[in-house]
Structure 1
Amino acid sequence: MSQDYNYDDQGQFFPYFVTTITALITVPVTYSWLKPSKGLENTAPRIQSDFKPEHADLIEGQRRKQKRKERKVKRMLISIGGWLVIAWMVYLMVVTARTTPKLWDPYSVLEVSMSATEQEIKRRYRMLSLTMHPDKVQPDPEKNLTLEAINDRWVEVTKAFKALTDEEVRNNYLKYGHPDGKQSFSIGIALPKFIVSEGNGKYVLLLYGTLLGVLLPYLVGKWWYGTQRYTREKVLVASAGNLFREYKDDVSVAGLIGMFSSGEEYKLLLKGSKGTAGVDKLEQRILEEPGLSNVGASLSAKDRQKFQEMDDLVRKKALGLLWAYLGRVELDDAALNDEKFEVAPIASALNESFTAIALAYMNTRAILSAYRASQHLIQALAHGAPPLMQLPYFTPAVVKAAEGLERHHLTIQDFMNIPADRRKKLVTAPGLLKDSEYETAMSVVSQLPTLKVDKAFFKVVGERFVTPGSLVNFVVKGRIIPPGTMNVPQVNEKDLEDVDPAEGDLDALHGRKKGEGTDSENPVQPPLAHAPYFARDYSPRWHLFHADSKSGKLAVPPFTFRQFAKPIFDENGKPTFNVQTMRTQFVAPAQPGRYTFVMHLVCDSYIGMDMKMDVVLVVEDPSKAEVMKDEEDISEPEEVWQVR
């Protein structure tokens, strides 16, 4: 048995080979490129406002830069190139003549049907011998009929006859497809012959060596290194390690900002000469007298000294840019101002990584600092800055006029509780706000999704009491009521009830309903955070958790939700006052008793809208609970909570 290698001389099969290989790459890449993004930032509504902050062009430039990354330009080019190659190959398939090798068939040679009997086959053979036997046929040059052709044709007839009548020959045909037994096989290579002939072989070897020995290992290594280089929070592993080493249980928001400057991402952003350019100017502007700098008042003497003594100039610049961003400091330099807006989203991502680290320690203060750092980064306000500066056009001078002689900064809710006429009079005056600017600010306030809790309680599904080790639901009923909203209707008591799910609804029983903790199959998104200085679109998150005030540790880890079960605003942008349901689950303590927790409900996008209340979990002894169940008829779970 021999082997025969042949090439696609006429280019019949080469297009099919190339199309298959190209499609294996192009189809998934095209799907990845074209599939719609499911990110909430791309589908959530926006707070309507015509406010343009200072350097709006730089901020918008950063947004466009990020969107270009999200557009997946590389995948787009690969996809387009792949489809062009496929189109070319399809064209070659259409215009290239194709020949198909004909299989040897004894029935076809004898011109009899496959159902013919042996007698019919013999009769046919005798008939052909009268007209095709070499002794009966004479060569005819005019018909191109040579003696060799006559003999070859008769050999084929004889083989076909024996294949259908001789037992051994027939067995060879049935087993190997040929009357002479196993034949040599031919391996077809789907490459045009010219590629490996005429001195082109060395180039083909070079191409294969480059593809398989260099390019493929490089791509696989780059992919693998890329997956191992980043954490689940999409920050560099080295950055997460730096945050872990600098972690402290009592870290403040200001301390967190200093920790974020250790991120390795800033070395990539500020590489080369950018790492030291403008450091002196930053230091001068940041450390100005507190009365002259928006951020100076928020820095402690320790923070100022630490900043001055930093030896790592790249980290010092990153920290200076962060403080300049939080203080809304004008740097009088286009490059520095642009970098100022670029560092904040990086710090926000690092904050996600720190939050994951803090959750491992279950420390309440560190968790709260992380959530509040997120608020300040998104709103571009330093720790201790007036919450009213979250509103459009509200400068320190306007805030000072609004707060008057107040000893503490007013929250947006406090400001909106001032009678409307007096409120407007406080901030609309020469040197303060114009009427149109005030109206813009009030329009934004009316769209802020402020969550007010109406009821919160513990319950066990299908039971009247909480017993040791049972699966407890903590249910929060609340409404979105923007600050200053007038004529808020009374809550419907029926909406505050929590009906147990059907017995067979395992998804509901185990908290697997869609909507991130809501009871809705079609959750509703709140508007994106109003953050004109933050160069990213951000979907607000609410974090609900319980803390033990005595130990300073978390009793129940945070549950995060970004969607609600019912519409928040109607078609006209007015609040619907729908009662929203949020729930989290945990296992009850192993011992009966009364457990007092502090419930925290924190929105990570707005300053001054957090809520804190005491909640009491009563865990009954199983035997006592059984007696009480027989004696009492309790329709609602016990509710003990107090707003603080």
Structure 2
Amino acid sequence: MLQYDDSAAAFVALSFVTIYIVPSWYNIIKKFKVALFSSDEEIGAISRTTAEKEKAAKLKKTSKGLKTLNSPWFLANLVITILLTVLFIWLFLSVQSNGEVNSFDPFHILDIDTGADMKEIKKAYKKMSLKFHPDKNPNNPQAEATFMMVAKAYEALTDPTAKENYEKYGNPDGKQSLAVSIGLPEFLLNVDNRNFVLLSYLIIMVGVIPMAVWSYYSNSSKFGEKDVMYDSYAWFHHNLNEHILIKSLPEVLSGSAEFRERNMTKTVEGKQEIGKILVKAKPHMQKPQFQHPVVLKGNVLLHAYLTRQTDVLSEASQEDLNFMLRYSSSLIDAMISVCKHQESLAAALNCIKFGQYVAQGMWMKDSELLQLPHFTSAEVAHATKGKNGVKTIKDYIALDNDSKKGLADFSDAQKEDIFKTCTLLPDVTIESKVFVDDDEDSNVYEGDLCTVAVTITRNNLEDGEKAGLVHAPRFPFPKREAWWVALGTTQGKIISIDKVTSPNKVVEHKIKFLAPKTGTYEFELHVLSNAYVGFDFSDSVELKTLDASVLPEYKIHPDDAELDDEPTLFEEMMNANIEDDSDSEEEEDSDSDDESEEGGIRELTAAERKKQELQNARKKAASAAGDDSDSDDDSDVEEVHAD
């Protein structure tokens, strides 16, 4: 009989507690390690220039120290884990001291010493059977179970067969294939605990578990790819199209579902602040299409950041802006994926360029030179005017340090920052070629699988060196350098667009597509940085496809032809099944024919009627000839048949 077992319950509880506390402690220790012992590089708090020192200090402040662990979810999990760890230790000590799972021991059940004589056995049995008899303990399943175990123990010590089985196999019923007990504590059988057990069961099964499942499902069902909410994807699909302009994208980003709760301004002071910032940012903004407070606030905060007017923001507004910037990279990637789904090349390129402006904290009419530290509009004007003035960041980087203009008012340390930044900014060479894999013929024919190989070479890196973090002092979070490679038609349709994240000096990215119909085609190839303005590359890729009918007829080798004729394993299995089915159908048909003949329902065919006539003639011949031989019978039959 199965019984509740405290020792088994301890083992089961120990297993379940371990399942929770092991991964929980791993995550807790990992967070503590990041908060207290992580290096500056691991959290992105590097300061290659003095312009990055302020950003690095803020990252250290927000990413290191015990204050970074001041999260409600983390603290709640920490408390639960500590309590379960205490429970784990108690269970472990309990198992160590009394860890033997209940086995059948008649002396222990009768509460007598091992080897007690028959008198003591009978006395103990009588005492315990009276104590736990069901008549004296109505509606007490624990007492009933104990009474049955007492009877079984007494039988094992008094009945010769049961005693022999117990001594041989440890059980009075003989050899058992499996010993099973219920891994639950015995107090659950106690009648006094019945209400508590039922109430606990009701709370856990009807309250806690459904609530946990609902909470997990409701949260996880909101997010799609790249941990972006489905509502954000729907918003992007509604507002992004092939005619979208870069100046409209801050408003599109502001409407993301991730910001709706955070950007809901509830105080009068907050609304007044947004109104004041709107006045200053309005000259740089496109006329807002949405007047919803959430979208308007996000749009205003983003423009304050892009136009470098964040000094007017309050601490609360600055935190809201940082919250938006934290998720901006993944949301902009989602916007690009929506454009890819819509096959709109122009919209995708605008989203990528918008991401560059967000990374550098600058806007459309700003000079590319504002990516250099300490540069303002005054330094830009000085560097771009005159005979030796430059217009692009690439041209400025190409100048010798002595020839760079706009540095007259800078200190030596500031100049070193600028020179250092020029070495950190990208210096890439883009190469592309079109070919057909595993084809010695250089021509491309209709239907061929074409490959456009794009090679990105970072000339500012040494061999074996990896690209580091983007130099973006104004962006409050670390950002990895990457490149977008897009191939599209001249009509603005996307063929392929991918983000290349490899940090190697030389990176090759392959785009594969089927060659179109016979003709000459021109495609647009774009390679854009995910974080720097002014380093984009555009080129045209020409493809000429020939008619595939001019190719020589492909002849199959005889050996290959024989292999093609051989049935595959799947075909053999299917044929075997078909044969089995046909045999079963024939048997069913024969059975049905016999049944119909017995019932006299089926109509005879012509051959069957002829056979029946022949049998009738044989019978007549046999009656006429009497006991003639078989040969005579055969001749008579033949004569009758001839007639």
Do the two structures share a fold, i.e. TM-score over 0.5? yes
**324, 336, 344: which one pairs with 2:317?**
336
What secondary structure is seen at the aligned counterpart in 2 of 1:582? strand
Q: Distance in 2 between matches of 1:314 and 1:408?
A: 43
Instruction: State the partner residue of 1:472.
Output: 450
Name which of 495, 502, 506 aligns with 1:563.
Answer: 502
Aligned to 2:601: none
Q: 1:7 to 1:409 in 2, by over 3 A?
A: same
**Which of these residues, 528, 534, 539, is aligned with residue 475 of structure 2?**
534
How far did 1:211 drift? 1.8
Per-residue deviation, 1:457: 0.4
Contact kept, 8 Å, 1:602 with 1:611, in 2: the verdict is yes
**Which 10-residue stretch deviates more, 65-74 or 229-238?**
65-74
1:147 to partner: Cα distance: 4.3
Partner of 1:318: 298
Identity %: 17
Which AA in structure 2 matches 1:340?
L
Larger relative helix fraction = 2
CA distance in structure 2 between the partners assigned to 1:249 and 1:314 by the alignment: 25
Closer, same or farther in 2 for the Cα pair 1:180/1:388, shift >3 Å? closer
2:406 matched residue in structure 1: 427
Q: Which amino acid aligns with 2:496?
A: P
**Aligned pairs (5 A) from 1:99-248:** 100-102=102-104, 145=117, 147=119, 149=121, 159-160=159-160, 178=172, 188=182, 190-193=184-187, 197=190, 199-248=192-241
Q: Which amino acid aligns with 1:443?
A: K
Q: Report if aligned partners of 1:593, 1:618 keep a CA contact under 8 Å in 2.
A: yes
Q: SS where residue 269 of structure 1 aligns?
A: coil
- Asked if 1:90 corresponds to 2:119, the answer is no
CA contact (8 A) 1:325 1:341 kept: no
CA distance in 1, matches of 2:400, 2:156: 109
1:74–1:561 CA distance, 2 compared to 1 (3 A): farther
Match of residue 51 from structure 1: 51
Contact 2:223 2:229 in 1 (8 A): yes
Q: CA deviation at 1:14?
A: 3.3
Cα 1:268–1:179 change in 2 (3 A) is closer
> Retained in 2: the 8 A contact 1:548–1:596?
yes
Please list the CA deviations of residues 533-586 of structure 1 after superposition, one character each: whole Å capped at 9, or x if unmatched.
Answer: 22222212211121222x1212x211221114x5x4xxxxxxxxxxx2412232
1:287 to 271, 279, 290: 279
Note the alpha carbon deviations across 1:139-168, whole angstroms, 9 max, x for none. xxxx9856474899998688446998xxxx
Superposed, which structure 2 residues align to 1:295-314 within 5 Å? 298-299=284-285, 303=286, 305-306=287-288, 311-314=291-294
Identify the match of residue 261 of structure 2 among 263, 268, 275.
268
Q: Equivalent of 1:552, from 487, 492, 499?
A: 492
| Equivalent residue, structure 2, for 1:603 | 529
Does the C-alpha gap of structure 1 residues 238 and 601 become closer, same or farther in structure 2, counting only changes over 3 Å? same
CA shift for structure 1 position 371: 0.5
For the residue of structure 1 that corresponds to 2:415, the secondary structure is: helix
CA distance in 2, matches of 1:262, 1:162: 79
User: Structure 1 residues 161 and 472 mapped into 2: Cα distance closer, same or farther (>3 Å)?
Assistant: same
Aligned counterpart, 1:403 = 384
Query: What is the rounded CA distance, in whole Å, between the counterparts of 2:216 and 2:325 in structure 1?
Result: 27
Q: Structure 1 pair 144/254, CA: closer, same or farther in 2 (3 Å)?
A: closer
Q: Distance in 2 between the 1:332 and 1:45 partners?
A: 24
Residues of 1 paired with 2:76 and 2:265: CA distance? 26
Indicate the SS of the match to 1:469.
Answer: coil
User: Following the alignment from structure 1 to structure 2, what is the Cα–Cα distance between the partners of residues 389 and 22?
Assistant: 56
CA deviations 1:487-532 (Å, max 9, x no partner) are x99xxxxxxxxxxxxxxxxxxxxxxxxxxxxxxxxx9752111222
Amino acid paired to 1:346:
Y
In 2 relative to 1, CA 478–340 (structure 1 residues): closer, same or farther, beyond 3 Å? closer
Equivalent AA in structure 2 for residue 459 of structure 1: F
Letter in 1 for 2:218: Y
* Letter matched to residue 427 of structure 1: G
The aligned counterpart of 1:481 is 459
Aligned to 1:543: 484
Q: Report the TM-score, using the length of structure 2 for normalisation.
A: 0.67
* 8 Å CA contact retained: 1:298, 1:385: no
Does residue 612 of the first structure (1) align with residue 538 of the second (2)?
yes
Query: Equivalent residue for 2:433?
Result: 457
Aligned-pair CA distance for 1:342: 2.9
Alignment-mate amino acid for residue 542 of structure 1 = W
Contact 1:543 1:558 in 2 (8 A): yes
Letter in 2 for 1:475: A
The residue identity in structure 2 corresponding to 1:357 is: V
Match of 1:139 in 2: none
Paired residues of 2:255 and 2:294 also in contact (CA < 8 A): no
* Partner SS, residue 251 of structure 1: coil
Q: Which residue identity does 2:471 align to in structure 1?
A: H
Show the counterpart of 1:591. Answer: 517
**More relative contact order, 1 or 2 (CA 8 Å, 6+ apart):** 1
The residue number in structure 2 matching 1:442 is 419
Is the Cα–Cα contact under 8 Å of residues 452 and 510 in structure 2 kept in the other structure?
yes
Aligned partners of 1:316, 1:377: CA distance in 2, in Å? 18
| Secondary structure at the counterpart of residue 335 of structure 1 | helix
Q: Are residue 371 (structure 1) and residue 373 (structure 2) matched?
A: no
Any conservation in 2 of the 1:595–1:616 contact (CA below 8 Å)?
yes
Q: Match for 2:372 among 391, 399, 423?
A: 391
Aligned to 2:128: none
State the match for 2:14 in structure 1: 19
CA contact (8 A) 2:251 2:296 kept: no
> Contact conserved, 2:55 with 2:476, CA < 8 A, in 1?
no
Deviation at 1:607, TM superposition (A): 0.7
In structure 2, the CA distance between the partners of 1:342 and 1:175, relative to structure 1 (3 Å rule), is: closer
Paired AA for residue 89 in structure 1: L
Q: Secondary structure at the match of 1:459?
A: strand
- Structure 2 alignment gaps of length 5 or more: 35-40, 107-114, 126-152, 554-643
**How many residue pairs end up in the alignment?**
503
Change (3 A) 1:91 1:224: same
In 2, the alpha carbon distance for the partners of 1:351 and 1:177 equals: 70
Q: State the Cα distance separating 1:229 from its structure 2 match.
A: 0.7
How far apart, in 2, do the equivalents of 1:18 and 1:596 lie?
Answer: 68
Quote the offset at 1:175 in angstroms: 12
Indicate the residue corresponding to 2:252 in structure 1. Answer: 259
Q: Distance in 1 between matches of 2:118 and 2:157?
A: 17
Secondary structure, in 3 states, of the residue corresponding to 1:373? helix
Give the whole-Å Cα distance in 2 for the aligned partners of 1:380 and 1:226. Answer: 32
Q: Which has the larger radius of gyration?
A: 2
AA partner of residue 288 (structure 2) = K
Q: 1:96 to 1:146 in 2, by over 3 A?
A: closer
- Helix, strand or coil: the match of 1:532? coil
Cα displacement (A) at 1:257: 0.7
Cα 1:524–1:469 change in 2 (3 A) is farther
**Paired residue for 1:327, among 298, 304, 307?**
307
Please report how far the alpha carbon of residue 625 of structure 1 lies from its aligned counterpart in structure 2 after TM superposition: 6.4
Cα offset, 1:268, TM superposition: 1.6
SS at match of 2:450: strand
Q: 1:209 Cα shift?
A: 1.8
Q: Which residue of 1 aligns with 2:580?
A: none
Cα RMSD, aligned residues only: 4.3
Structure-1-length-normalised TM-score: 0.67
Quick one: distance in 2 between partners of 1:57 and 1:162? 80
